[in-house]
Structure 1
Amino acid sequence: MAVVVVSWEAAALTQACVARLQRQLAPGDELVVVDNGSTDGTAEAIARTAPEARVAVLPTNTGFAGGADAGIDASTAPWVLTLNNDAWLEPGALDRLRAHARTAEDDVAAFQPLVLFDRAGPDVVNSTGITLMRSGGAIDRDVHLARADATGGPDVFGPTAGAALYRRAALDDVRDAGHVFDPAFFLYFEDVDLAWRLRRRGWRTTYVPDAVARHAFQASSRRHGDDFVARQCMRNRLRCLVRNASWWVQLATARRTAGELIQLTRRERSAGLRSWLRTVGQGLAARSRLAARATVSRRDVERRWRGA
């Protein structure tokens, strides 16, 4: 098994994440830490405290999408776990995921652990996987429910890449332009796009609640600022829609899309409009590439999964 952790300007956070991982790694496991052009000594700190890790240093910040993509390419194991540097696995979780991988059916692309918010008080769910919304977006299934109330079944649209175990053969099967995660997403919705590609090639994701991760929500991404996060979510929802959703769904969600375009234009003026047009253009180019390889129709995916 390979584990990929992406970091940007978060040496202490990443060291803590890696230290917890070290206690669960088995002989032969690969640990890859991707440093997204940090200036805080992350790469040196990991090399010093986790000499078994392979540290991939990128010259610039490529976001989670680009960093995770590079980390997957830097590893070779048949199963790869992507893990946010502000998340950690409870003791025994890696062994449980390993056991699920050993007995996985041939069409299982990924396993989704139970992800809980890492905070004081009763356990509250962060995610049991990704589900599609009628509004054209996506949401973490069971988010904000008490742990005991999370009753989502084993079949889920896709995994949230902040803590997900992927089959490498499935990732290789759905690469687009050579990438597992499209680097144009940078941050947010890159895992939704990947889940779409997996579903349209006939792969499925299984939720395994016996493996538990905890996530200090946005402890890593909040340094970008709330405005950046809002803009990324708006752009990337559109990017994901144009790349993957049926025209029927895009028409049904046009009012929301128009509202977000107005917001982007107000925030960024002409730059916002140019960015929106560039996003649409890139999405349309990808749409035809992805359609040529798909074995499951967009409408079949939407009939099964769209509805939250």
Structure 2
Amino acid sequence: MSSELAVVTVTYSPGEYLDQFLTSLREATTRPLRVIMADNGSVDGAPEAAELAFDEAELLRTGANIGYGAAVNRAVAEIDPDVEFVVVANPDVRWHPGSLDGLLDAAARWPRAGALGPLIREPDGSRYPSARSVPDLTSGAGHAVLGKLWPGNPWTQRYRQENETVAERPVGWLSGSCLLLRRSAFDSIGGFDSRYFMYMEDVDLGDRLGRAGWHNVYVPGVEVTHSKGHAAGRHPEVMLPAHHTSAYRFQADRHARTWQAPLRLALRVGLGFRSKIVVASALRARAVDGRESDERTEAGHVG
């Protein structure tokens, strides 16, 4: 097997985050690196600049905004099958020194690990719940309905696993923002399901890996920092419906029998209704923030 380590990141006007990603990546491993930037239509020039500034980085244009999972699959297809491990990470990840080598060490301890993920820190240093159980109908519905109103509800706790011991262990799925994937495991299940344009593709991947006999291993001894949620905040009218569509697809695929058709219909109607509510709420909040910003600017000019 090749000692080269392949890294795939999907770019869509990533801005200054991409330079931070590539700079910190050099301190994350001692292995030779090949970085493929699968670009879904950036207009900020950041991927082109990165390709010039970093010898290990190469730009792969997908031709359109084909979605996260499809872009990863397209990039992985360019990687020699002899490369044993592929890293998939968002371009707004900041690698900690030695973090990738730490994940590779864990992969040696877990030969049936198809995916391994680090402890993910928020920019403020808090821990993001990146290792979770696979949502069933009960935990998924309970978390969706009560997660914001009653964060400590048992369904959210069971799903997010925030109260679990912070220890290296197999879990249901790992955040797709930073994954070390064993190529043989990834290929054995056909990679990401490209029907998921955005959101839930990592849940689906982890679930299918588990069903195929592989482990999803949480490695909290390794840490990275992730600045997440920017696109969702800017475009809630697009991102939030996409999240609900993906949630429906995940459960519908797992409840696909003919006699379960009424259940699928109920899911579609319920998630569609919830999507309209959360989008309206997000747009109101954005409008309020905009007005407050304008008022602060006006006050500054007056002063």
Please state which band the TM-score falls in when normalised by the shorter chain: 0.7 to 0.9
Cα distance, 1:237 vs. partner?
A: 0.9
- SS at structure 2 position matched to 1:11: coil
1:115 partner amino acid: I
2:131 to 101, 110, 128: 128
Deviation track 1:156-187 (CA, whole Å, cap 9, x = no partner) reads 01221111111110011101xxxx11222111
Between the aligned partners of 2:20 and 2:255, the Cα distance in structure 1 is: 39
- Relative distance call for 1:95 and 1:160 in structure 2 (3 A) is same
**TM-score when scaled to structure 2?**
0.74
Aligned to 2:207: 196
2:119 corresponds to:
114
Q: Aligned residues, how many?
A: 257
Alignment partner for residue 166 of structure 1, among 156, 181, 196? 181
Mapped contact 2:113–2:217 kept (Cα < 8 A): yes
Alignment partners' CA distance in 1, 2:157 and 2:115: 16
What letter is aligned with 1:123?
S
Structure with higher Rg: it is 2
Following superposition of structure 1 onto structure 2, how do residues 265-284 of structure 1 map, counting pairs within 5 Å?
none
Residues 227-255 of structure 1, C-alpha deviation per residue, up to 9 Å, x if partnerless? 22220111111111122347599877864
Alignment of 1:205-284 (within 5 A): 205-223=216-234, 225-245=235-255, 255-262=266-273
Partner of 2:91: 85
1:48 corresponds, among 42, 46, 52, to 52
Query: What SS class does the counterpart of residue 183 from structure 1 fall into?
Result: coil
- Rounded to whole Å, the distance in 2 between the matches of 1:109 and 1:258 is 35
Where 1:98 maps in the other structure, the secondary structure is helix
SS at match of 2:173: coil
Tell me by how many angstroms 1:261 deviates: 3.4
User: What are the ranges of 5 or more consecutive residues in structure 2 without an aligned counterpart?
Assistant: 144-155, 279-303
Q: How many angstroms does 1:257 deviate by?
A: 3.6
Please report how far the alpha carbon of residue 7 of structure 1 lies from its aligned counterpart in structure 2 after TM superposition.
0.8
Match of 1:156 in 2: 171
Partner amino acid for 1:158? W
Change (3 A) 1:18 1:239: same
In the alignment, residue 170 of structure 1 is paired with which amino acid?
Answer: A
The equivalent of 1:290 in structure 2 is none
1:5-16 map, 5 Å = 5-16=9-20
CA distance in 1, matches of 2:185, 2:106: 16
User: C-alpha separation between the residues in 2 aligned to 1:73 and 1:141?
Assistant: 36
Quickly say closer, same or farther: Cα 1:124–1:195, change in 2 above 3 A.
Answer: closer
Corresponding residue for residue 292 of structure 1: none
Determine what percentage of the aligned residue pairs are the same residue: 24
Contact 2:50 2:57 in 1 (8 A): yes
Q: Tell me if the contact between 1:68 and 1:82 (Cα under 8 Å) persists in the aligned partners.
A: yes
More deviation, 21-30/202-211: 21-30
1:207 Cα shift?
A: 1.0
Residues 170 and 245 from structure 1, CA distance in 2 versus in 1: closer, same or farther, beyond 3 angstroms? farther
TM-score (norm 1): 0.73
Quickly say closer, same or farther: Cα 1:214–1:59, change in 2 above 3 A. Answer: same
Contact 1:5-1:83 at 8 Å conserved across structures: yes
* CA shift digits 1:3-38 (9 cap, x unpaired): 111110123221221111122243433222111121
| Root mean square deviation, CA, Å | 3.1
The Cα shift of 1:130 comes to 4.9
Report the CA distance between 1:104 and its aligned residue.
2.7
Show the counterpart of 1:270: none
Kindly indicate whether the alpha-carbon contact (under 8 Å) linking 1:124 and 1:144 is maintained by their aligned counterparts in 2: no
How far did 1:96 drift? Answer: 0.5
Q: Does the 8 Å CA contact 1:158/1:195 hold for their aligned counterparts?
A: yes
| CA contact 1:13–1:86 (8 Å) conserved in 2 | yes
